[in-house]
Structure 1
Amino acid sequence: MLLQQITEPTEEPVTLAEAKRHLRLESDETDEDGLITTLISVAREYAEDRQWKKLAVRTFELYAADARSFRLPPPCQEILSVIVTDREGQTVELAAADYYLYSDNSKATLELVSTYKYPALSVENKFPVQIQFNSGLIPAAVPKKTKHAILMLIGHWYENREASTEKKREKPPFAVDALLDMDRTWY
């Protein structure tokens, strides 16, 4: 399986203004905006990896083997297309009636209907199935504890900009992972 992000998020779960308030910076101070914006994205990515869910809506493509069930990162908002490449290299887009999606904030699964039959597939093509979908939470749906963990990470990285310091702080504060684990998807 191979998951690839196609588009960037249109909105982050934490705004620049929220991050600046958390860092106790004045809203009219703009010389650090680029750094803070980067920290917001990196902290969101850290939280997404820890929770195995997407915290900002964007489009993805999943390349997979010919299975009947496909696990997608939750929450999956919609399936844009399901395409199968046959042995001749021809692509066939599945009709919406050939699959169904189950998704909530904890898991997302695309299932092929029992009557669907794959075309003859090439042995060389390890990933003949391509699924394009939108996944992620809108900012208002991101839990407060997750937003707080993201803000804590931003603050930690803002204060500790170098890879090594005189203080020993290789890892983010324990509270960050504890907060993120409260909404983590466990498989």
Structure 2
Amino acid sequence: MLKLVTPPAAPVVSLAEAKTHLRVLHDDEDDYIEALVDTAVGMIDGADGWLGRAIAPQTWQLSLDRFPCSDDNGRSGRLHLPLAPLLAVDTVEFIGSDGIDGEISDYRVFGVGSTQPGYIKPARSSSWPSTDCEPEVIRITFTAGYDDVPKGIKHAILLMIGHWFENREEVGDGKLVEMPMASKALLMPHRNWRGA
């Protein structure tokens, strides 16, 4: 199970940026515009978002039932972290086969800053510990997201906001209103296709 622990500290697109894009000079629709920003970001951000990645730095917790198996050479398997770009692995906690809580501090992190999801492995010449036979006995807390959100993603969000601001009805002229094609084109290079 994957759950958001700490959302981004600041919005990906500020109210001022959205209003500039929309050419809105008054404050009458600030709440509505902020709702559009939240909706656009929510549509593409995080584990359930269209991009399948974290847009701005945010902390997640991945809970697992067991560590990955070793390969044919006896090397412990990779523990994949589902969101990119990975910024840091904060903690790896588990409940041991003896029922006592433990924390692993000696592990290797791969894929920090990569456009693809990262993973962790135990330190060389070691293996994952034995765990209790209960659900979600492993908890990995990690931080993912862009330190500097790519301009294409920000512009796609602005286009979505502009589209929805001008087309407030769900259905218009017999056509369903969805993510604008230009937004999809801007977002496509950033989409995480693993598991999509």
- Number of the residue aligned with 1:74: 84
Per the TM alignment, residue 144 of structure 1 is displaced from its structure 2 partner at its CA by 1.6
What does residue 130 of structure 1 align with? 139
Q: Is the 8 A contact 1:100 1:111 kept in 2?
A: yes
1:151 equivalent in structure 2: 158
| Partner deviation per Cα, 1:28-82 (whole Å, 9 max, x = no partner) | x222222222221221232332222211111110112312322221112111110
Contact 2:107 2:120 (8 Å CA) reproduced? no
| Whole-angstrom CA distance in 1 between matches of 2:67 and 2:136 | 7
Larger helix percent: 1
Give the alignment of 1:29-178 within 5 angstroms.
29-48=26-45, 49-64=49-64, 65-67=66-68, 68-72=77-81, 73-95=83-105, 97-107=106-116, 108-123=118-133, 125-138=134-147, 141-178=148-185
Q: 1:179 aligns to what? A: 186
Letter of the 1:6 partner, please give it: V
Q: TM-score, normalised by structure 1?
A: 0.84
Q: Deviations over 1:64-108 (max 9, x none)?
A: 23123222211121111100112343211001x233242224122
Q: Is the 8 A contact 1:98 1:116 kept in 2?
A: no
CA–CA separation in structure 2 for the residues paired with 1:127 and 1:116: 22
- Which whole-Å CA distance do the structure 2 matches of 1:142 and 1:105 have between them? 14
The aligned amino acid for 2:33 is I
RMSD after superposition = 2.0
Task: Report how far residue 185 of structure 1 moved.
Answer: 2.7
**Whole-angstrom distance in 2 between the partners of 1:82 and 1:99:** 11
Q: Which amino acid aligns with 1:66?
A: F
Give the stretch that moved more between structures: 97-106 or 127-136.
Answer: 97-106
Q: Is the 8 A contact 1:53 1:106 kept in 2?
A: no
Structure 2 unmatched ranges of 5 or more: 69-76
